[in-house]
Structure 1
Amino acid sequence: MTLIVGLGNPTKQYENTRHNVGFMLIDLLKDDNFLDVSSAKFQGELFKYGKILLLKPTTFMNLSGNSVKAVNDFYKPKRIIVVHDDLDLGFGVVRFKKGGSSGGHNGIKSIDNLIGNDYERVRIGIGKKGNAANFVLGEFSDNEKTHLDEILSHCKNAIIELLESDITTISAKFSLKKSIQI
């Protein structure tokens, strides 16, 4: 079983913010085949199809680990893939890795503290401007929005292939290394 976690914040207030690219990607991956298996014990929206679980923690970003740990403890997936925004990567840059540091990302810190860091990550660059907290909780600019669907579609294709491959192969094939100038 594979658990794919998209990080973000619940509620309409945060729906279109940079911090919610993980949620956006889960919504793109989820189709009518996925059954809603959410439960209060999972502290998130959980969808299942065959051996694939899609999770959107509803604990707010800084406590994402609580939801991931609950699902991990119950389903015991062999593989966990976490999709999240990354301030340290320019807008449009996409990187893949396994393990490593949180890079200051509070959602990743929370997961690392509760289950360790032995999981795969899809890092979607959002760039950085001004105050980090205000920036990640801000909505994408109109310029950014013109590229966002393409970036998310690219990441969806990468994850679909990643389900049948390894992170090194997918990194070589799907990493986007050049920022989109906005």
Structure 2
Amino acid sequence: MHKVLKKYVPESAASPCFELIKQNGVHLKVVNERVTRHGDYRRLENGMHQITVNANLNKYRFLITLIHEIAHLVAFQKFGRHIKPHGNEWKYTFQQLMLPFIRPEVFPLSLLPVLAHHFKNPKASSDTDAKLSLALKQFDEGPDKTFIFELPYGSLFRIYNGRIFKKGNRKIKRYECMEVATGRIYLFQPNAEVEQLR
């Protein structure tokens, strides 16, 4: 398991991650990409704790996702199963578990201030924090991506499932975009990855 972890997390984070996994009795599964989530935690019928994390994540996002999911398990054990999944108890637990990793031996210096800001009040998903999401995406492999905030007003774009939208105005933090086929309005995070059509 330790050798496997080195493939997915920064090298200096592999041993502490392995200890957290062992200490909490986690069965870790690295799975194919799921568009709607980076990872999840589930207590199985046999009492085991299963955490899945997408294999396609860069090392820094994989580490954050793994600790995010372990925080669910630890928070449920410490505070009971009736807490909100991303409530104050989970936030506190996530902050405490993540703190030992927010250092230059684990993350690039450019990410540290963004992480420090994010972990003052962690969100349910790292993608919800646009600054953190964009900072992490610079370490992704593969072709350059286009984000909604980069598109001109009125541009047409396609999302991962093939649906086509027209970019509209920004409303507070998100963009109102009209689905071309239905005329319905949807809200998009500025850092949503899309394929520009024109």
Using the size of structure 2 for normalisation, the TM-score is 0.26
Which structure has more relative contact order (CA 8 Å, sep 6+)? It is: 1
TM-score normalized by the length of structure 1: 0.27
- Pick the structure with greater CA Rg: 2
